[in-house]
């Protein structure tokens, strides 16, 4: 019976985009809401600002992720095309290169040569993509997946402070949004860390710290701006 180990590296693509989207959704929208509310703005206007931030942020995240990951995918495809051409024109040199990689990793030269020959006879491009370029199907760039994951999780994250604006009493609007957002950030950081195999406390602490800092700064700016305008 074959033993199959479960690794977390195949989650990197969507997990990174999802965590980035949710974190940015909570932090940016909560900071926007807190800053606008701290300036003494009426609840209705604060809500409009929050919804506008949610929509604009989700679309921006989708576009940014798609463009950046597409650039990564283009680079990967260019490297594969070059490798494919070299395999067609210089197969012996490519075999030497692959054997040298295995020797560097600790195999005896004769064994490294045998492994290189067998892998190239089976699927030369896959062998070079994996061992020379570090490219695998599991870690390949997927622009659409990253865009959708980032936009969807941004919208979910941004929705939390927006809903809080609707439900919190007017005098407690700023602290209410801040507390709810920080609790959500702690949960997000802990969940993301556990999904990636890292300590939950560390993930929760770093996300909460930067979120609290962002909201504190924007609250200060909003209060100062509100006092100046008023």
pLDDT of amino acid 143: 86
State the CB neighbour count (10 A cutoff) for residue 13.
Answer: 20
Kindly indicate the confidence band of residue 156, based on its pLDDT and cuts at 50, 70 and 90.
Answer: very high
Q: Give percent of the chain with pLDDT exceeding 70.
A: 88
Sign of CA dihedral 217, 219, 222, 228: negative
Cα distance between residue 74 and residue 80, in whole Å: 10
Is the pTM here over 0.75, yes or no?
no
Q: Is residue 144 part of a domain?
A: yes
Give the residue numbers spanning the domain of 93: 20-39+71-225
In whole angstroms, what is the distance from residue 155 CA to residue 16 CA?
16
- Domain membership of residue 211 (yes or no) is yes
* Mean pLDDT, residues 3-26 taken together: 64
Total domains in the chain come to: 1
DSSP-assigned letters across all residues of 44-81: HHHHHHHHHHHHHHHHHHHHHHHHHHHHHHHHHHHHHH
Asked if residue 88 belongs to a domain, the reply is yes
Q: Higher confidence at residue 174 or residue 10?
A: 174
In tens, the pLDDT along 191-222 reads 877 776 778 888 888 888 988 898 889 888 88
Which tokens belong to 142? 């997927």
Determine, yes or no, domain membership for 56. no
DSSP 3-state of 29: helix
137 assigned to some structural domain:
yes
Residue 49 lies in a domain: no
Residues in Cβ contact with 77 at an 8 Å cutoff, skipping those fewer than 6 apart:
none
């Amino acid at each position: 019976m074959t033993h199959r180990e479960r690794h977390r590296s195949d989650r990197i693509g969507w997990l990174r985009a999802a965590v980035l989207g949710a974190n940015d959704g909570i932090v940016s929208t909560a900071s926007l809401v807190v800053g606008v509310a701290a300036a003494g703005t009426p609840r209705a206007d604060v809500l409009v600002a929050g919804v506008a931030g949610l929509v604009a942020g989700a679309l921006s995240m989708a576009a940014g992720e798609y463009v950046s990951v597409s650039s990564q995918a283009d680079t990967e495809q260019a490297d594969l095309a070059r490798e494919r051409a070299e395999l067609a024109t210089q197969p012996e040199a490519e075999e030497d290169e692959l054997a040298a990689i295995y020797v560097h990793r600790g195999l005896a030269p004769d064994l490294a040569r045998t492994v290189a020959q067998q892998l190239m006879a089976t699927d030369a491009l896959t062998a070079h993509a994996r061992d020379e370029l570090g490219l695998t199907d599991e870690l390949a760039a997927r622009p659409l997946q990253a865009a959708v994951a980032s936009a969807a999780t941004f919208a979910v994250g941004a929705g939390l402070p927006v809903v809080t604006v609707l439900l919190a009493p007017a005098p407690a609007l700023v602290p209410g949004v801040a507390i709810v957002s920080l609790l959500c950030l702690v949960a997000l950081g802990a969940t993301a860390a556990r999904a990636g195999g890292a300590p939950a406390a560390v993930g929760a602490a770093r996300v909460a710290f930067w979120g609290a800092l962002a909201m504190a700064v924007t609250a200060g700016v909003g209060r100062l701006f509100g006092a100046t305008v008023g």
